[in-house]
């Protein structure tokens, strides 16, 4: 889409050096120095894109493209405002822009994702209409300052009338000079992308009807508003996982040119099958979505009804590094969240790690599922931490008298170090702040690690976590 | 060339007609007891007799209130050229009184070629307005205030309405206030002091009858026989159009369509879509154009959303439905997972995926707004513990599953049970 320059810097550079070299490149470019003209409202640069290009760029969208072209109609034809909706990454924005490139009609594009409040949205539209570009010369300011919708309507009316008169003037010149990149027609299209984000703004209840009624308010036959919106299967996620699968699929075929027939496909597929399950359950590094199910494994459902369930291999090691005191803090936070406070004494101090399992209560387990991890004050966390580390201290000493680790624990003067670890755990969102205690007003914390992760951490420390948990 | 150009010109003409409200509502205004003539009578009598007046135009959205008002104003401006000036305000934009006074002052300045200063304060603007009212009254000029979305002006303290209506009563002025609203009880929203200064005249705009609809369609869609289009093309087009309009099937489609929403605007959007579908090769409107337009307009987004879901997401939706039928009022992701696991244990489905994948599918459903959280507070909990609820009804879910291609039979069984 458009001409993209291959970046000349391919190795990693620091930000400051990249900025310096970019500045040099910028000065030599002529683009910054020439004032923006009406042709900048076009899409696609010099040559209009042909219809076949548009259709071939988006396979499977032929019906929608033809429908859109019909609604836009021949040149200078007025139309009612149009609302385009669909799931994410279904191609709404890109198809729209390419269609405009094909028709070569001027438009103003603004995304409610980048313009996150009404003022920025209004100013961006006005800037584009007034052909004003923010650069260093005018201090990156907008052409007009516009905060309220009432001002916006007036300014928009002025800007549109000036642009339309420009366009009509241009078309008069068209016959005399041959310019391929001239804008066609007397109409300007306003495109609002990501419209659903407006609902999150303040005063959204007035913004949305305002935008939808902008058409009526301006009473100009020659503008057309086109809000977009969002909401199918996410092609971007699927593509990453499909590429890996496809590579595996093609492994046994030495000759890439042959088209496999049914029998071969079946054999290839049965070879692929044991790989599919771990792919399906793979973590979201690959973001593998189970709609792979519909595409690649339809045959699996018909042929092999018994699929290995899960097949997930729990990774026994943590993916990242944490220092030991942080690990102990994490475990204590987990215990503090899971166990009720009243049992602390019995579990940790009096009885020590208990061998007998507590009896399971159905409703209590339900409660755990529904309410989630509980909150705890800081003092309780530190108390549990001290208990655990003193236990660990003993066990470490018993095992192999390793001096390197044993020195720090059980020493009160290093409490500041522990608090630093705690704050870094909070920053990493392993521990979050819950509500504050109603009586004293001190903040309470909550641990957000899952049981799997806590088990992994405990395993790395050789800490018997299961014996300290209230329910198992 | 040849057939192309007249078809394109015809298409342009039809589309521009459908986008122009004053054109389409003209035939409705021809009879003598229509809203058009009543409104015209009221406004013209207050212009000629030099008195104040106020009126409300009420009706559902898209019934042509503003269109008829525009027609009346255009005719009156032609009849009494220098005696009327029009100020237009919209409740969406100008409901705040500071904005409103500024806008009134600006429009008055434009009208009378005065310089408007943006730095003027709200007090200055309101005093300017009162002064202008007095001067115009002395000069026998009527100022017509058109207040669109009148119910939005009636929120809050109604300062603008009060000052406007008060000025009309105390100062020697000639002003007409016309409020336009889609709320039928807009006059009940007024405060006591405002209501006492307001004359309780209301004009109701009702949806058009079947004969009116027929007349409207012929009026809009027939091509005029003037010189810009070739004569034989126009004649043939109009003949074909008559065939379509009197077709039984077409009448049935139209009835079904208007049953869902009988305002005029709805009809015009349908006609617009049909006209867009016109084949530029032949240049005639056919029944298929109208049928295609109906399908395009009557869409069901939630159903399409469900059809776009993957199988795991359908499983999650069905699990949530089952939890609801078991009368568990609040449930979260973990409860849904428990249900999912129990289904897998009892039916041995091949679709059993790990926790991570299900969580990802759950997030997709949230993004697509098929489910949502029941409350916004407590955001510092992780995703799995928030109570959620379904945003699709069970009927929609049934329909979605039925129209889903390759839906596993087990899901149907689970939904039925």
Instruction: Give the per-residue SS3 of chain A.
Output: CCCCCCCCCCCCCCHHHHHHHHHHHHHHCCCCCCCCCHHHHCCCCCCCCCHHHHHHHCCCCHHHHHHHHHHHCCCCCCCCCCCECCCCCCCHHHHHHHHHHHHCCCEEEEECCCCCCHHHHHHHHHHHHCCCCCCHHHCCCCCCCCCCHHHHHHHHHHHHHHHHHHHHHHHHHHCCCCCCCCCCCCCEEEEEECHHHHHHCCCHHHHHHHHHCHHHHHCCCCEEEEEECCCCCCHHHHHHHHHHHHHHHHCCCCCCCCCCCHHHHHHHHHHHHHHHHHHHCCCCCCCCCCCHHHHCCHHHHHHCCCCCCCCCCCCCCCCCCCCHHHHHHHHHHHHHHHCCHHHHHHHHHHCCCCCCCCCCCHHHHHHHHHHCCCEEEHHHHHHHHHHHHHHHHHHHHHHHCCHHHHCCCCCHHHHHHHHHHHHHHHHCCCEEEEEECCCCCCEEEEECCCHHHHHHHHHHHCCCHHHCCCCC
B49 and B196 together in one domain = yes
Residue B361's closest chain A neighbor by CA? A289
| Nearest-by-Cβ selection for A290 from B92, B280, B353 | B353
Q: List, as ranges, residues 166-205 from A with C-beta within 8 Å of B.
A: none
In sequence order, what are the residues at sequence separation of 6 or more whose Cβ sits closer than 8 angstroms to the Cβ of residue A163?
A38, A129, A188
What pLDDT sits at residue B55?
92
Distances (CA, A) of A359 to A343, A365, A366: 14, 11, 14
Q: Do A289 and B356 touch (CB under 8 A)?
A: no
Q: Which among B176, B204, B232 is the end of a domain? A: B204
Q: Quick check: A231 pLDDT over 60?
A: no
Inform me whether the C-beta atom of residue B19 falls under 8 Å from chain A C-beta atoms.
yes
Burial class (CB in 10 A: 0-12, 13-18, 19+), B13: middle
Work out the minimum CA distance from A149 to partner chain B, whole angstroms: 6
Q: Are strands B331-332 and B387-390 parallel, antiparallel or unpaired?
A: antiparallel
Cα–Cα nearest to B163, from B220, B125, B201, B110: B125
User: What length is written for chain B?
Assistant: 417
The complex's ipTM works out to 0.76
pLDDT band at A384 (very low <50, low <70, confident <90, very high): confident
pLDDT at B290: 84
CATH code for the domain of B407? 1.10.10.10
Query: Does any CB of chain A come closer than 8 Å to the CB of residue B127?
Result: no
Q: Are residues B290 and B406 in the same domain?
A: no
- Residue A35 pLDDT > 50, yes or no? yes
Min CA distance, A71 vs chain B (Å)? Answer: 5
Distance CA A31, CA A36 (A): 9
Q: For A242-289, what is each residue's pLDDT tens digit? A: 444 455 444 444 443 444 444 455 555 555 555 554 444 443 333 333
Q: Residue A233: which pLDDT band, with cuts at 50, 70 and 90?
A: very low
pLDDT of residue A318: 63
Torsion of CA A92, A93, A98, A100, to 10 degrees: 100
Check whether residue B332 and residue B256 sit in a common domain: no
Mean pLDDT rounded to a whole number for chain A: 62
pLDDT for the residue numbered B180 = 92
Residue in the block written with tokens 């020439």: A34
User: Read out DSSP for B65-124?
Assistant: HHHHHHHHHHHHHHHSTTSEEEEEEEHHHH-SHHHHHHHHHHHHHHHTT----TT--HHH
Instruction: Tell me the two tokens of residue B361.
Output: 């599918």
Tell me, yes or no, whether B313 and B292 share the same domain. Answer: no
User: Could A88 and B367 be called an inter-chain contact, meaning their C-beta atoms sit closer than 8 Å?
Assistant: yes
Determine the pLDDT at residue B402: 85
How do beta strands B53-58 and B202-204 pair? parallel
**Which residue among A210, A290, A370 places its CB closest to the CB of B335?**
A370
B357 touches A: beta carbon within 8 Å: yes
- The residue of chain A nearest to residue B61, with distances taken between CA atoms, is A213
Q: Say which DSSP state B174 is in.
A: -
Distance from CA of B49 to the nearest CA of A (A): 32
Least confident of A23-32, A151-160, B179-188, B238-247: A23-32
B239: in domain: yes
Minimum distance, in Å, between the CA of residue B173 and any CA atom of chain A: 27
Instruction: Answer yes or no: is B411 within a domain.
Output: yes
Is residue B24, in this structure, part of any structural domain at all? no
Query: Is residue B289 located within the same domain as residue B177?
Result: no
Q: Does B330 touch chain A (CB under 8 A)?
A: yes
Per-residue pLDDT at A371 exceeds 60: yes
B22 at interface of A, judged by CB pairs closer than 8 A: no
Mutate to test the interface with A, among B354, B368, B404 (most CBs of A within 10 A): B354
* Sheet architecture: strand order including B371-373: B331-332, B387-390, B371-373
Which residues on chain A are in Cβ contact (under 8 Å) with B334? 369-370
Using a CB–CB cutoff of 8 Å, tell me whether B253 touches chain A. Answer: no
Pairing of strands A443-447, B175-181: unpaired
How far, in Å, CA of A63 to CA of A78, rounded?
Answer: 22
Query: Tokens representing B1?
Result: 């060339």
Q: Are residues B52 and B182 in the same domain?
A: yes
CA of B276 vs chain A CAs: smallest distance (Å): 5
Rounded distance between C-alpha atoms, residue A397 and residue A454, angstroms: 24
Choose among A224, A422, A190: nearest CA to A326: A422
Which of A80, A234, A294 lies closest to B311 in CB terms? Answer: A294
- Which of A78, A149, A290 is closest, CB to CB, to B310? A290
Same domain, B58 and B184: yes
Residue B339 inside a domain? The answer is: yes
Question: In degrees, to the nearest 5, what angle opens at C-alpha B346 toward C-alphas B342 and B348?
Answer: 105
Question: Which of A 281-300 lie inside 8 A of B, CB atoms?
Answer: 281, 283-284, 287-291, 293-294, 298, 300
Nearest partner of B104 among B123, B128, B81, B83, judged by Cα = B128
- Which positions in chain B touch A232 (Cβ < 8 Å)? 308
The reported pLDDT for the residue numbered A92 is: 75
B66 or A369, greater pLDDT? B66
pLDDT reported for residue A416: 65
Phi-psi region of A364 (alpha: psi -120 to 50; beta: other; left: phi over 0): alpha
- Interchain contact B302–A (C-beta under 8 A): no
- Torsion from C-alpha of A46, A48, A53, A55, nearest 10 degrees: 140
Residues belonging to chain A:
472
Q: Give me the residue from A80, A307, A373 closest to B350, CB to CB.
A: A307
A-chain residues near B8 (CB < 8 A):
74
How many pairs of residues across A and B have Cβ atoms under 8 Å apart? 139
Looking at the 3D structure of chain B, how many domains does it have? Answer: 3
pLDDT for position A200: 65
Dihedrals phi, psi of B269, to nearest 5 degrees: -65, -35
Report chain A residues whose CB lies below 8 A from the CB of B7: none
Q: How far is CA A60 from CA A66, A177, A233, B307, in A?
A: 12, 39, 14, 17
Q: Write out the two tokens for B190.
A: 């007024």
Give pLDDT, residue A283: 33
**Tokens found for residue A190:** 């306003």
CATH of the domain at B159: 3.40.50.300
| CB spacing of B277 vs A70 below 8 angstroms | yes
Partners of residue A160 on adjacent β-strands: none
Are the C-beta atoms of A126 and A120 separated by less than 8 Å?
no
The residue among B22, B93, B269, B372 with the most chain A CBs within 10 A of its CB, best to mutate, is B93
Is B37 exposed, middle or buried, given 0-12, 13-18 or 19+ CB atoms closer than 10 A?
A: middle
**Based on the domain organization, do B278 and B334 belong to the same domain?**
no
Closest residue of A to B306, CA-based? Answer: A232
Reported as a single tens digit per residue, the pLDDT across B164-192 is 888 888 878 889 999 999 888 888 888 89
Nearest CA in chain A to B408: A301
Asked which of B189, B204, B219 is the last residue of a domain, the reply is: B204
Q: For the CA atoms of A433, A435, A440, A442, what is the dihedral angle to 10 degrees?
A: 10
Q: How far off is chain A from B43, nearest CA to CA, in Å?
A: 23
Backbone angles phi, psi at A326, to 5 degrees: -65, -40
- Is residue A32's pLDDT more than 90? no
Nearest one of B135, B173, B163, B171 to B51, comparing CA atoms: B173
Structural domain includes residue B23: no
Tell me which of B343, B357, B388, B410 to substitute to probe the interface with A (most A C-beta atoms closer than 10 Å): B357
Tokens, residue A64: 């929608």
* B256 located within any domain: yes
pLDDT at residue A222, rounded to an integer: 44
Whether residue B130 is found in the same domain as residue B264: no
- Among B298, B319, B349, which residue terminates a domain? B298
Interface check for B354 against chain A (CB to CB < 8 A): the answer is: yes
Neighbour tally for A15: CB within 10 Å: 7
Q: Is the Cβ pair B301, A67 closer than 8 Å?
A: no
DSSP symbol at B228: T
Taking CA–CA distances from B88, the nearest residue in chain A reads A217
Planar angle of CA B331, B333, B334, nearest 5 degrees: 90
CA dihedral B387, B391, B396, B398 (to 10 degrees): -10
Q: What percent of chain A has pLDDT over 70?
A: 41
Residue of A nearest to B367 (CA): A231
Of the partner residues B311, B332, B367, the one whose CB lies closest to the CB of residue A290 = B311
pLDDT at residue A50 above 80? no
Q: Does A70 touch chain B (CB under 8 A)?
A: yes
Asked if the structure places residue B26 within a domain, the reply is: no
Q: Once rounded to an integer, what is the mean pLDDT over residues A314-338?
A: 75
Q: Strands B84-90 and B53-58: what pairing?
A: unpaired
Tell me the shortest Cα–Cα distance from B380 to chain A, in angstroms.
7
Provide the pLDDT for residue A239: 46
Percentage of residues of chain A with pLDDT beyond 90: 0
- Which residues sit opposite A152 in a β-bridge? none
- Kind of pairing between the strands at A188-193 and A107-111: parallel
Instruction: Answer yes or no: are the C-beta atoms of A297 and A249 closer than 8 Å.
Output: no
Q: What is the pLDDT of residue B336?
A: 87
Q: Are residues B286 and B318 in the same domain?
A: no
B312 neighbors B353 (Cβ within 8 angstroms): yes
| B357–A281 C-beta distance less than 8 A | yes
Say yes or no for a CB contact (<8 Å) between A370 and B330: yes
Can you give the pTM of this predicted structure?
0.68
Strand order in the sheet with A107-111: A107-111, A188-193, A223-227
For B38, the enclosing helix (H) or strand (E) is helix B35-48
B13 CB within 8 Å of a chain A CB? no
Same domain? For B285 and B310 the reply is no
B53 neighbors B86 (Cβ within 8 angstroms):
no
Residue A208: band (very low, low, confident or very high) from pLDDT cuts 50, 70, 90: low
Low-confidence ranges of chain B (pLDDT < 70): 1-4, 31-32, 227, 376-381, 417
- Containing domain of residue B231, as a range? 6-16+209-298
Residue B239 C-alpha, separation from nearest chain A C-alpha, in angstroms: 24
Does the beta carbon of A79 lie under 8 angstroms from any beta carbon of chain B?
yes
Nearest residue to A447 (alpha-carbon basis) of A422, A472, A418: A422
Question: Are A293 and B330 an interchain contact pair (Cβ–Cβ within 8 Å)?
Answer: no
The answer to the question of residue B103 being in a domain is yes
Q: Residue B358 and residue A306: Cα distance in Å, rounded? A: 20
Q: Do B289 and B373 reside in the same domain of the chain?
A: no
Q: Does A374 touch chain B (CB under 8 A)?
A: no
| Window 337-356 of A, Cβ < 8 Å to B | none
Does A81 contact B at CB distance below 8 Å?
no
SS3 B135: helix
């Amino acid at each position: 889409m458009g001409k993209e320059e291959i970046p000349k810097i391919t190795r990693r550079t620091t930000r400051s050096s990249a900025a310096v070299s970019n500045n040099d490149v910028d000065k030599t470019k002529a683009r910054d120095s020439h004032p923006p003209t009406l042709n900048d409202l076009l899409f696609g640069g010099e040559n209009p894109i042909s219809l076949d290009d548009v259709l071939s760029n988006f396979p499977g969208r032929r019906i929608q493209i033809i429908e859109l072209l019909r609604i836009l109609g021949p040149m200078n034809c007025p139309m009612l405002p149009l609302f385009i909706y669909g799931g994410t990454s279904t191609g709404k924005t890109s198809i729209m822009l390419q269609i405009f490139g094909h028709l070569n009609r001027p438009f103003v594009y603004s995304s409610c994702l980048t313009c996150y409040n009404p003022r920025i949205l209004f100013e961006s539209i006005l800037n584009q209409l007034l052909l004003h570009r923010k650069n260093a010369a005018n201090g990156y300011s907008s052409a007009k300052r516009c905060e309220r919708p009432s001002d916006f309507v007036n300014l928009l009316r002025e800007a549109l009338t000036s642009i339309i008169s420009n366009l009509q003037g241009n078309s008069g010149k068209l016959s005399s000079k041959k310019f391929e990149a001239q804008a066609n027609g007397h109409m300007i299209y306003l495109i609002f992308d990501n419209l659903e984000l407006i609902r999150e703004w303040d005063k959204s209840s007035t913004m949305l009807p305002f935008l939808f009624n902008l058409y009526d308010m301006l009473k100009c036959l020659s503008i057309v508003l086109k809000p977009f919106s969002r909401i199918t299967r996410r092609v971007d996620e699927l593509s990453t996982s499909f590429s890996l699968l496809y590579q595996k699929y093609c492994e046994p075929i030495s000759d890439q040119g042959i088209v496999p027939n049914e029998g071969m496909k079946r054999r290839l597929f049965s070879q692929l099958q044991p790989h599919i399950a771990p792919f399906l359950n793979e973590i979201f590094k690959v973001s593998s979505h189970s709609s792979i199910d519909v595409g690649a494994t339809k045959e699996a459902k018909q042929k092999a009804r018994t699929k290995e369930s899960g097949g997930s291999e729990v990774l026994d090691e943590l993916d990242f590094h944490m220092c030991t005191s942080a690990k102990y803090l994490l475990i204590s936070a987990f215990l503090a969240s899971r166990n009720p406070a009243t049992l602390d004494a019995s579990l940790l101090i009096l009885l020590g790690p208990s061998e007998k399992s507590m009896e399971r209560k159905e409703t209590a387990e339900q409660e755990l599922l529904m309410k989630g991890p509980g909150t705890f004050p800081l003092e309780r966390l530190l108390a549990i931490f001290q208990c655990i580390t003193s236990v660990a201290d003993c066990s470490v000493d018993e095992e192999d008298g390793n001096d390197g680790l044993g020195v720090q624990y059980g020493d009160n003067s290093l409490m500041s170090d522990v608090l630093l670890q705690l704050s870094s755990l909070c920053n990493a969102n392993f521990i979050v702040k819950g509500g504050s205690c109603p009586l004293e007003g001190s903040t309470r914390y909550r641990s957000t690690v899952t049981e799997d992760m806590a088990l992994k951490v405990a395993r790395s420390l050789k800490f018997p976590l299961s014996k300290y948990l209230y329910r198992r | 060339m040849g057939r192309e150009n007249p078809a394109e010109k015809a298409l342009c003409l039809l589309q521009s007609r459908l986008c122009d409200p004053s054109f389409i509502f003209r035939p409705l205004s021809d009879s003598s007891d229509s809203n058009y003539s009543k409104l015209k009578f009221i406004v013209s009598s207050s212009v000629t007799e030099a008195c104040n007046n106020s009126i409300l135009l009420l009706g559902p959205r898209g019934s042509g209130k503003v269109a008829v008002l525009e027609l009346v104003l255009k005719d009156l401006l032609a009849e009494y050229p220098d005696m009327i000036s029009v100020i237009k305000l919209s409740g969406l934009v100008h409901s705040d009184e500071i904005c409103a006074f500024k806008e009134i002052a600006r429009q008055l300045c434009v009208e009378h070629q005065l310089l408007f200063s943006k730095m003027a304060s709200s007090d200055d603007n309101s005093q300017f307005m009162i002064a202008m009212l007095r001067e115009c009254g002395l000069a026998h000029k009527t100022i017509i205030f058109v207040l669109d979305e009148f119910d939005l002006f009636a929120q809050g303290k109604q300062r603008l309405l009060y000052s406007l209506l008060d000025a009309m009563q105390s100062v020697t002025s000639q002003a007409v206030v016309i409020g336009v609203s889609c709320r039928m009880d807009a006059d009940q929203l007024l405060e006591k002091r405002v209501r006492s200064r307001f004359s309780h005249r209301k004009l109701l705009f009702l949806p058009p009858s079947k004969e009116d609809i027929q007349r409207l369609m012929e009026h809009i869609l027939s091509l005029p026989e003037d010189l810009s289009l070739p004569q034989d093309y126009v004649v043939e087009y109009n003949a074909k159009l008559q065939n379509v309009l009197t077709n039984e099937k077409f009448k049935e489609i139209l009835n079904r369509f208007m049953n869902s929403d009988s305002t005029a605007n709805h009809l015009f959007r349908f006609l617009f879509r049909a006209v867009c579908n016109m084949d530029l090769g032949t240049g005639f409107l056919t029944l298929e154009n109208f049928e295609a337009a109906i399908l395009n307009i009557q869409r069901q987004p939630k159903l399409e959303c469900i059809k776009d879901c993957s199988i795991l997401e359908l499983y999650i939706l069905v699990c949530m439905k089952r939890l609801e039928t078991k009368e568990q009022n609040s449930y979260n992701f973990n409860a849904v997972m428990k249900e999912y696991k129990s289904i897998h244990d009892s039916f041995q489905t091949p679709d059993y995926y790990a926790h991570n994948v299900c969580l990802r599918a759950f997030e997709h459903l949230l993004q697509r707004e098929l489910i949502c959280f029941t409350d916004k507070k407590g955001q510092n909990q992780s995703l799995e513990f928030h109570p959620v609820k379904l945003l699709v009804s069970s009927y929609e879910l049934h329909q979605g599953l039925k129209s889903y291609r390759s839906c596993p039979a087990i899901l149907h069984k689970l939904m039925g049970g």
